[in-house]
Amino acid sequence: MPADPSTGWIDRLARACQPIPLRVPVLLVAYTVVLFLSRWMAYQLRFDFNVPADSWPHFGDYWSAVLCVQLFFLAVSGQFSGIMGYFSLPDVRRLLLASLASTGVLFGIRYQFPEVYIEPRGVILVTGLLGLSGVGAVRLACRLVRERYFSVYAKSAGTTRRVGIVGAGDVGAGLLRELHSRRGLGLEPVVFFDDDRSKWRSQVHGVPVAGSPDAIGRFKSKYNIDEVIIAMPSAPAKRIGEVVRTLRQHKLKFVTVPAIDQLASGKVKVSQLRAVAIEDLLGREPVGLETENIRRDLTGRTVAVTGAGGSIGSELCRQVASFKPKKLLLVEQSEVQLFQIEQELIGLGYGDIIVPLVADILDAARIRTIFAEYRPAVLFHAAAHKHVPMMERQPCEAVKNNALGTARLADLAQEGGLEKFVMISTDKAVNPTSAMGATKRLAELYLQALFARHPQGTKFIAVRFGNVLGSSGSVVPLFTKQIAAGGPVAVTHPDMVRYFMTIPEAAGLVLQSCAQGQGGEIFVLDMGKPVKIADLARQMIELSGLKPDEDIEIKFVGLRPGEKLFEEITCDNEHYRPTHHPRIMSFLGSSAGWDSVQAAFQELGKELDRPDPDRLKRLMQKIVPEYTPFLAQSDTGPTLSKA
């Protein structure tokens, strides 16, 4: 039903009849005084503080008309409707436009109607400049009074700590402004440090830039620094580590600003400081995504994510939602985890597109119903059992969920006409020594064989990457708990190395792989240089303010069944193929015959309920010859076998 056109007039009339806020007459008086004084000062400056007697009549004759023009444009620009205590760059821009407009109108009247209005050009111009400065000063004074005396952050903390800021760029300058306006935090910036030599011996908002962060020790006493804030969110992890070591050497407390992606998205403020985390020291350069390609696959389409409540699955949901799909299906077996990601996405404003679905990928009837009802175009399959030692003791569950579950889900995707199926795999699937890794390799083989059988159907893609910092079951939260408990920190082997990447980086590259995939590929993410687990443990202990092997013991406990000293990224029979993205590699392997793969999976399904895990491992080894299982051949412990 069309809206009544008179409704808009009624609303405006109702608003006009409301009581005038107190700020309007206050600002009117303040602006009138400022503009009157600006006009008076303009005459003084025009005539070198010796205004001729015949010029004063012009001042008196025109002042009310000039004032009305100036106040009119101030009102149009919103200078009466804004809250007095808030004044920022957008307000300055509007104030400048109002000043230019009023000055332009006065000049126009002077030249078009000289018999009505005649004043010296210099007076008109200087009146505009001084009026702009005066009104701006009034608004700025209101802001300073609010921040200093009336803000919830204005009350000074009991003790004030003098802080140095590492990073004199935009983030550091923004942090300085925040700390000045939020005195309740009890932090007083006294000095900047920056790697850019051109900034040395200069100032940022009145605070000096003393020199390089490496020179903090020389300036610690001079500026009486209590602690340091690292404001370099986009700096390389190596540089952050060097700064942290310098601060630790000089016994200075330190915190850091939020990550650059959080600042860029507006999720957090620069003043929401946090402790330096191990992710900051192991992190990598931000990933540049080809968003247009990703948008083509996701925007306006129905997308499903299995394992939506897990570490990778939940981040995939966040990033997929940002591309505005038509519907986002959150498929998750755990009700608790599903509720958490559902509430988070609702809080982010995606409540109208998400569909939370409690479902087990092994329940074929339930999955078939979901596919038939919602018709997803793209499926990200992140549901899996991934804990190596736990799955080593009960490989039947790893086979059931990771291999057979993926195979059943892939069959249903093919049957339901999905366009793309992207499975989250792992570097542990390459020459596996664990049951978990072997089941992931089995899933890869099934997807490749299924795509080779139906090349015109669903595009099946697998994405491999290594350990994800902060994910469920990763070594970082485990070490954190052990350090909090006073140690020891249990490291399997002094030479063990692993690849690490952040959860957002991994999820972003999975989306990029989806956009590039044509079916049958295994994408491998560039995971950088491997990190020694023992070095990781030492860094985490040091970040806690403790000393390795003194305050916290590092205990080497030996390799557990299924573990390797290092991980690989590609199998021997896979061939490298370049991609359009520098962080993504593509590998194609010769797919096994469909009949043999299907027969092998059927045989695996028959063996699931047998009590002997070694029998199941040997059967997996027949299908994945490069698998080297740990077999409990004797009571003395697990034994490596190629049998």
Catalytic site positions: 428
Q: How far is CA 89 from the centre of its chain?
A: 26
Cα–Cα distance between 600 and 401 in angstroms, integer?
Answer: 16
Q: Which amino acid type is present at position 564?
A: K
Alpha-carbon span 174 to 231, nearest angstrom:
10
Based on DSSP, count helices (H) and strands (E) in the chain, helices before strands. Answer: 23, 23
Q: What is the CA radius of gyration of the chain?
A: 34
408 to 125, 411, 438, 598: CA distances (angstroms): 78, 5, 17, 11
Greatest Cα pair distance in the chain: 116
Structure tokens at 411: 């069959």
CA-CA distance, 381 to 424, in Å (whole number)?
6
Residues ≥6 apart with Cβ < 8 Å to 33: none
What tokens were used for 83?
């809250």
Count CB atoms within 10 A of the CB of residue 232.
23
- Which residue carries 């099934």 as its tokens? 446
Sheet holding 253-256, edge to edge: 203-204, 207-211, 187-193, 161-166, 227-230, 253-256
Q: Which residue has the tokens 């077996």?
A: 333
In 382-458, DSSP assigns E strands to 420-424
